[in-house]
Amino acid sequence: MALVVILTPNPAIDVTYRVDDQAIGETHRVREVSRRPGGKGVNVARVLALLGHETLSLLPLGGSAGDWVLRQMKAVGLETAVAPISEETRTTVAVVGGGKHPTLYAEPGPLISRTEADDLLRRIREACVGATILVIAGSLPPGLNDDDIAQWIEASHAAGALSLVDAGGRPLAAAARAGADFLKPNESELGEATSAPDVLAGAALLLAAGAGTVVVTRGERGLLAVSAEGHHCVDAVPGITGNATGAGDAATAGIVSAVLEHLGLDAALARAAALGAAAVLSPVAGEIDLEAYHRFLFNSRK
């Protein structure tokens, strides 16, 4: 049984276009194209696998696109369980180039019926038996709602597993109310969920709602973790430029790896910062420069 169950509620085929520059309204010649299974949870699974952790990715998949995603997951050795759906799995497109932040075009995803949602919940309950942690990462497709988030977290706790949710807006707030052990939003997602005037106030609201620990990624200003015991901060790795798509997912993997190894919050934040920076050095989401990660982590301990 996998130690980490990773639910990606809205998986995708991730297409990355590399261009010389990005400008709205202009025609661009694409220099390089990559296609791979995507969604925040899939990226988390890839990084955890690189770190040597056992994972099980749980994906609602449908149509020929869903079949392609499953084949590719198997091809790279990621253990995967499918919750079949009737509609086609979505595609996302990231445009990278010109030294600018990537431009992302994300389809909303397929409509999940109530019957399909019930089947997904059943599969989550089964997968969590014997697992250490359930990771829920990414947006909700049409048809899934706050109650589904709460039921997924309840399923993990009933099986004796921890829960970590990486989401924004209403799903993030719903996960707090359901008692998620860890929440991992970025600043924008935290603000959307709480409308708080600053990060500490927003994290405090999520803790008051029922969350155990809130870890906020803040880009170049590093990470902040807030729990009932206080707050911890770590700086971002300086001077890193590249493709930031997937950096937050790598940070999530760092937190999960620290949980699996029974490390504290300081160590979790250090891993998250180092992995996030190592992901920026990779041309596509879900990969990291492993040598750079170890170097960044070593330097953080000096």
Task: Note the pLDDT of residue 78.
Answer: 96
CA dist 104 and 92 (Å) reads: 7
Provide mean pLDDT across the span 137-156.
Answer: 96
Q: Are strands 55-61 and 4-7 parallel, antiparallel or unpaired?
A: parallel
* Residue 159 pLDDT > 60: yes
CA dist 264 and 185 (Å) reads: 19
Q: Which tokens belong to 99?
A: 């030294």
Which of 67-71, 96-100, 263-267 holds the top average pLDDT?
67-71
Provide mean pLDDT across the span 32-38.
Answer: 92
For 4-300, CATH number out of 3.40.1190.20, 3.40.640.10, 3.20.20.10, 3.40.30.10 equals 3.40.1190.20
Q: Which tokens belong to 150?
A: 């709460």
* Residue 2 pLDDT > 70: no
Provide mean pLDDT across the span 132-151.
Answer: 96
Task: Note the pLDDT of residue 123.
Answer: 98
**Residues 6 or more apart in contact with residue 17 via CB below 8 angstroms:** 28, 30, 32, 33, 93, 94, 95, 96, 97
The whole-angstrom distance between residue 116's C-alpha and the CA centroid of its chain comes to: 22
CA dist 96 and 16 (Å) reads: 7
Helix, strand or coil for residue 2? coil
CA dihedral 68, 127, 290, 104 (to 10 degrees): 50
Question: What percentage of the chain reaches a pLDDT higher than 70?
Answer: 99
Q: Are 18 and 96 a contacting pair, CB within 8 Å?
A: yes
* Residue 243 pLDDT > 80: no
Where do the domains of the chain lie? 4-300
CA dist 130 and 133 (Å) reads: 9
CA dist 202 and 196 (Å) reads: 5
CA dist 146 and 142 (Å) reads: 12
In terms of Cα–Cα distance, which of 106, 100, 45, 109 is closest to 77?
A: 45
